[in-house]
């Protein structure tokens, strides 16, 4: 059954919002998001949303603060326009890496952002591959954390020889994520254990698992500078891996990350379109983007019809 919903897109990732719109066969609602001369954000919802089930598609990616403010102001505009229910669809939830106090006198920014979204008027949140699953508990509203794994598994099955594949976690913290993907493709698991023996010395990479002659698939949720994955690829190849692929949900790729990946020994980096790709990413010879528009579209449709979302991952 075609859901009765309104889709609103901010400026962070218009192509993904349009792809979701095409999947659901629901046009994007007319919404003006512009800046005044001093860069204040102004929003005008240009069609009736009274009593409607509204979904805002907006990643809080670079520039994170601008895109977060757009999301908050769009949410406020919809609440004041009497929308029945407002769901913030965040393909990429920025500030997720600030989910705890690593040292004294520091914020827990992920909780602050969760509070802002809630107080702006969102009734629920839909996001993809949170950096830490417990961030769902930072929200006092229903929060669905979707997984890009089914999309990645489909791509891996098409492109990698699974009889010789091994899934690798680039660090100890990502073992749960890597194990879940390894289980889906029935492949063994290896772990890169990195440690700094003394201050000022480079990290020593120890590989837990026999990866000799294997097609290794590094799995992570976020790739930012690219240093961890490139170093892990070098360590795997030094230990006899045949080739190294990397699959990451969120391609933040800040600074010189694209150049670092392009000159690395990674055979291919595969990211999703949770963050809109820059021109540098589009032309990089060993970076490829796969879409999560179908996954998000299906989840939005099921949320609108009060159907199960978790069954998408059974």
Tokens standing for 217?
Answer: 């698939």
Is 276 annotated for ligand binding?
no
Is 224 annotated for ligand binding?
yes
Is 226 annotated for ligand binding?
yes
Is 155 annotated for ligand binding?
no
Is 53 annotated for ligand binding?
no
**Which candidate, 168, 152, 176, places its Cα nearest to that of 236?**
168
Is 225 annotated for ligand binding?
yes
Cα–Cα distances (Å) from 133 to 110, 137, 182, 221, in that order, read: 12, 8, 19, 11
Burial class (CB in 10 A: 0-12, 13-18, 19+), 248: buried
| From 6, 183, 194, 242, active-site residue | 194
**Which candidate, 251, 276, 293, 282, places its Cα nearest to that of 14?**
276
Is 294 annotated for ligand binding?
no
Q: Annotated catalytic, 2?
A: no
CA atoms within 13 A on the CB side of 79: 16
Q: How far apart are CA 139 and CA 55, in angstroms?
A: 17
Is 228 annotated for ligand binding?
yes
Is 12 annotated for ligand binding?
no
61: phi then psi, degrees, rounded to nearest 5: -95, -175
State the binding site. Answer: 38-40, 97-98, 131, 171, 196, 220, 224-228
**Active site residue ranges:** 194
Residue numbers in the known binding site for ATP are: 38-40, 97-98
Q: Which residues are annotated as a binding site for D-ribose 5-phosphate?
A: 196, 220, 224-228
Annotated binding site for Mg(2+): 131, 171
């Amino acid at each position: 059954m075609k859901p009765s919903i309104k889709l609103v897109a901010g400026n962070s990732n218009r192509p993904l919002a349009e792809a979701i719109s095409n999947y659901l066969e629901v046009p994007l609602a007319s919404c003006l998001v512009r800046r005044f001369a001093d860069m204040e954000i102004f929003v005008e919802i240009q069609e009736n949303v009274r009593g409607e089930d509204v979904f805002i598609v907006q990643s809080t990616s670079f520039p994170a603060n601008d895109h977060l403010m757009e999301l908050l102001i769009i949410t406020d505009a919809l609440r004041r326009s009497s929308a029945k229910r407002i769901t913030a669809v965040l393909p990429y939830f920025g500030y997720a890496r600030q989910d705890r106090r690593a040292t004294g006198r520091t914020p827990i920014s992920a909780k602050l952002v969760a509070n802002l979204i809630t107080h702006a008027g969102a009734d629920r949140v839909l996001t993809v591959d949170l950096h830490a699953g417990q961030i769902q508990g930072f929200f006092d509203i229903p929060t669905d954390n979707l997984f890009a794994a089914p999309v990645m598994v489909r791509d891996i099955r098409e492109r990698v020889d699974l009889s010789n594949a091994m899934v690798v976690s680039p660090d100890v913290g990502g073992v749960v994520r890597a194990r879940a993907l390894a289980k889906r493709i029935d492949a063994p698991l290896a772990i890169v254990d990195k440690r700094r023996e003394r201050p000022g010395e480079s990290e020593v990479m120890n590989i837990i698992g026999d990866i000799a002659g294997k097609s290794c698939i590094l799995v992570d949720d976020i790739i930012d500078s690219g240093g961890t994955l490139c170093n892990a690829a070098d360590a795997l190849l030094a230990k006899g891996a045949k080739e190294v692929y990397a699959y990451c949900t969120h391609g933040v790729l800040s600074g010189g990350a694209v150049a670092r990946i392009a000159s690395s020994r990674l055979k291919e980096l595969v990211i999703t379109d949770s963050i809109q790709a820059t021109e540098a990413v589009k032309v990089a010879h060993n970076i490829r983007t796969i879409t999560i528009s179908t996954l998000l579209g299906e989840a939005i449709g099921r949320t609108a019809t009060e159907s199960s979302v978790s069954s998408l991952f059974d």
